[in-house]
Amino acid sequence: MSEQRLRVLVLSDLFPAPSRPAYGIFVERQTTHVQRYCDHTVVVPTRIFPHLRIWRELARPAQVRGAWRDWRKEIREIPLQSDIYGYPVYYPRYTAPPHQLSHASWGFCAYPALVGLVRRLHIAQPFDLIHAHYGTPAGVVALLARRWMRVPVVISVHGMDVTYTAPQNRFGAAVTRWVFQQADALIANSNWTREKMYRIAERELSVDLIYYGGQAPSAPAIEANRADRNDKVIRLLSVGYIEERKGHQFVLRAMRRLIDQGCRLHYTIVGDGSRLEELEAEVDRLGLADVVEFAGLKRHDEVWPYFADCDIFVLPSWDEAFGIVYVEALGMGKPVIGCAGEGGPEDLARFGDCVELVKPRDVASLAQGLERLITDPDRRREMGERGRTIVVNISPGSGMLRIPSCVTETYWPRLHMRPQAFLQYEPDYDQHAIDL
């Protein structure tokens, strides 16, 4: 039998671009790894609509002009097409209302702008399958295109689908429910996400659970520098967008309590976001300016030294479907603090003692969790070692997933073929499986 590879159309409005190098990097990573077994073409619906912060500044013309220039520059830096990942990536533009009004409408707004491109690509080299990330807008576009493409649609569901789009209003709930019910296959990134999908769909669903891996690079030089430190300061780290639900403000308040009790701490915050100014003000209010560093937004390859240099990774976020930064921290051998009842921290903790679970939005619980790790360096080391092993086992290319699960467990069953190219890579799940 001659070798035959799947041709997969990936739809995702989150995907890296030169001006947003970490934007949707988890989608790029999975796509790039699965490229070993499939031929991908990626279409990134790129919404063009001035940021809300521009409208808020209408009364201040100077600020509006500056924000408008920045927004236009950001859009211009997103190419129409790129192949820097080894497969074609297209960034077609469309427009839609602000997500605060109707996020569920975005797919219906995007489809007319994307259908011509998708049709041309499909005619040139027909696709076998569509893999959409997020129900809106990509899932909606995929289901509308399926009417004439006549190929299966796989939808990876992420946090925003179940925490924002569906709860936003009745239309959002109806669209999300329709997407879940109409997809040929569904993928959830955590048990937490899957449970919310069941409630939204209002009927039985078949949902594959596939974690996002995050194998970290080795950093012996950085680790050697850490070994030279003798200041006995415990270094905390958070990485991610600075928004209320990420919980940075609770870390600051817990720090204040612990410092008042005699702990020596330093906190580095990597990222940017809408709550940056408020967080900076909170630092000043709490008198923590000397022990808190705002490192700003970093490219993905620039973040690893921060992971390597910290003692504890802490991100007490809520409405967290998974959170790939937890996996990255564990991959660097660091103990993690996350919130109980949230997707990533709960699922990772089930593999073993690698995550200290605390109550969400609870300063006392967070302070107690930090204190438990600060005062127990042996447990911190053991958590880091255990976490590194767990990440190896759930990351693409590892023993347990010699073929990524999205290919073996989700793509194949929806197709009437098993390409010869895959047969030599059959995984041995019995040998490597980790029971959740």
Whether residues 330 and 356 share a domain: the answer is yes
Model confidence band, residue 319 (pLDDT cutoffs 50, 70, 90) = confident
Nearest Cα neighbor of 57 from 66, 69, 48 is 66
Whether residues 58 and 87 share a domain: the answer is yes
CATH number of the domain within which 303 lies = 3.40.50.2000
Torsion sign (Cα): 8, 9, 10, 16: positive
Residue 384 lies in a domain: yes
Note the pTM of the prediction, 2 decimals: 0.79
Q: Angle 365-370-371 (CA atoms, 0-180°, nearest 5)?
A: 95
- Residues 306-320, mean pLDDT to the nearest whole number: 92
Residue 77 lies in a domain: yes
Which contiguous run of DSSP H or E holds residue 259?
helix 248-260
The residue type at 96: A
Q: Choose between 183 and 421: higher pLDDT.
A: 183
Domains of the chain: total: 2
Whether residues 200 and 228 share a domain: the answer is no
Structure-token pair, residue 123: 């005619």
Q: Which domain holds residue 17?
A: 6-209
Residue 214 lies in a domain: no
d(CA 239, CA 265): 17
Whether residues 295 and 268 share a domain: the answer is yes
Average pLDDT, the chain: 83
Nearest Cα neighbor of 5 from 423, 429, 431 is 423
Contacts (Cβ under 8 Å, ≥6 apart) of 308: 219, 222, 223, 226, 332
Give CA separation, 20 vs 41, 81, 302, 310, 339, in Å: 19, 15, 14, 25, 28
Stretch among 25-34, 63-72, 378-387 having the lowest mean pLDDT: 63-72
Q: State whether residue 32 is helix, strand or coil.
A: helix
- Please determine, for residue 238, whether its predicted confidence score (pLDDT) is greater than 90: yes
